[in-house]
Structure 1
Amino acid sequence: MRAVRLSVVTAAATAAALAAVTGCTQKSDAKNGDAIQVTATDTACKVSKKEFPAGHVQLDIENKGSKVTEVYLLFPDDRIVSERENIGPGTKQKVTAEVKAGEYVIACKPGMKGKGIREAVKATGGGKVAKRDPRLDKAVAAYREYAQEQADATLPKAETFAKAVKAGDIEAAKKVFADSRLGWERTEPVAESFGDIDPKVDVREDGLEDGQDPVKDWTGWHRLEKSLWQDKKIGDREKQLADQLVTDLTDWQKRVGKAEITPTSMANGAKELLDEVASGKVTGEEDRYSHTDLTDFKGNVEGAQKAYELLKPVAAENDAALTAELDKQFAALSTLLDKYRTDKTSYVFTSYDKVGKADRKELQDAVNALAEPLSKLAAAVVK
């Protein structure tokens, strides 16, 4: 999870503006290559057009600022249609999304902080209705089922974790902490699309918004992680937070089944899972007290691979070279990760503080090698 969130990624609840679940999407009236140019700086977010045809929309993003930035396509109420994070100074990214006619906002977040610099935009009607490939509808249905399965499996694990915390059993709570997070990590694009839940359960202390009090306002897994590993104590507040974590995850579990997902949201979500790895897991920032980052890392990769494999039959027809490269890089990264697995029958990995700089660099390179072709998956799906 990133240090700062605006909710995340293009799955689940964003889909009121995405293609309808009937299997039809609007085909954009825009000409090939007629992308929206987004130029981000430290003080501005310039867009090349304020109106564009509804349907498949491409953002061509360039960061001309000095800070790492994120760019979002949002509803006016901040629900996410699509986004790309960790766009370094002097670099470019492309994002493909599906949108219906309506009002939207493009937001740039220099430094990946706050609400961002915003421009109001509009998707206009008139796009032709095109029936979506039924294989993509099948992929969406299967991914929705997968997300629900992960949420259903997470809740009893979180309850076990909470029970240990409330019993004051620090070692028992530590033992189940990482496993309680796996289902969330596998489906973060869906989980984070419910923007009111993610800040409650998965925010780090440096991800709190300005004005929030770490003592009163910081809740969730990482708050309890700090108590268990750094403070080495469980008090009344931690026991309350354990109950609150279960309550919030129960809310998430109930809402996952209502999520609407599109092929492009799945593809973009897979890429965002790799961005999560690059921005938090490889750096050791995510689980900075427990050093269980590699378990989260594995969960993110598995979730990204699941989305990819469901979309692969269509993507392979449209871009066989891309899917061949993705197969190669997913296999390489999974093999590399499994080197650090201390128990081959479970998700127990080497403590990340024991992973040296050279090995971390090897992991980072493997993530980058996968993230680059994965960023092209959404475009391949809608060709």
Structure 2
Amino acid sequence: MMISYLVVAFSIFVTCYTRSRNCIDDFDIDIKESQGYNYPIPHSYESEYWSELQTEYKVTRKMSWSRNFYIFGKFVDESAAGGDDTIISAGLYRGDELIYKTIINCESGTWENWILDKKTEQERILLHGKINKTVSCKTGDDFDLILKNDNDRLANWILNAQPLQHEVRKFSKKTNKISEGKRQIRTGILRPKVKVDSKYSTFNATRFEFTATGRAVFDRFAFGQCDAWPKNMEMQCQKVREWIHARSKANMTEETLAQLQSTPDANFTRGLGTFGNNMESFIPTCLTKKYFNWFQGTVHPDRETPMYPGEPANKEKRAYCCCTNMKTGRVFEDDPEKNCISTPTCITLGWTCVRAYDPVVGGEIYEEGKKEH
């Protein structure tokens, strides 16, 4: 039987966790009540909080703040399934009305994305497809489902690094960069072909609900403008790096992947390109397979990070740099106010984060290096 309950968001905006960086919320779900969750989206009733007007270079435009929804779970044995089919569903809602949801059926090996039609106000399928071989619904296996919400009509579902989307569109648009009195044109922009053309925009959503039947149960949820990864990956920096990369917007060629075979990133996949979660530049950097670098120069930004005009050349500047715990990857001393600043300021001040360097870990790395040589 499916159980649903309500959670209230307690966390402050820049809370950082062992298994995520800069999320608004990141919490475990009680396994006894793990087949339904109704999450009230923070600031959902504040007009244009997630989408507002900004002026750059004397040009006013609508700026969207992307959001990340992370669901983690596992498949239990048949005795706990109660005879029901194993189905996972998650979606954005405005009150009781659907905006956008996905339904994953493990029995049929299929997925469907649904919206609320503007004209008929009836729910209808927007996209559908097959679950690929990288997604397993076997007992004991873990699963993760991510919704990357880029703007008011763009949202991508990702199941175990498989995008539940297909086909892209290419277009050009005016940028905020002015040259000789004219706004410059950026060409070759790629986006998912299908827009979420629902009755309400994705930023009108007041809640995010996810439910499961059969053998699927949830054990954790995270939300924010952030990166998150599975639990219990302390001292496994390279695995965290690979996990985030596989779900990122990276779009590597065969040539690039071949060049990585002699590096610690030999297990990298292509990435998901247009259908990915976050930019690959925000992936954690590692000192070894076990340990995170104590200095992370590009941590995922949020609404508090200053905007830098002149896209796309200056996009990498819109990030945080953070002093980092070398074992867990979390912000040093769990204090982002003290240990994170904007990347341009970080460069100007010459931050090196010496205070976050762990000499015990450094000694271990040194001894291992001597053995290898």
Tell me, yes or no, whether TM beats 0.5. no
Larger radius of gyration: 2
TM-score by length of 2: 0.24
Structure with higher strand content? 2
Structure with higher helix content? 1
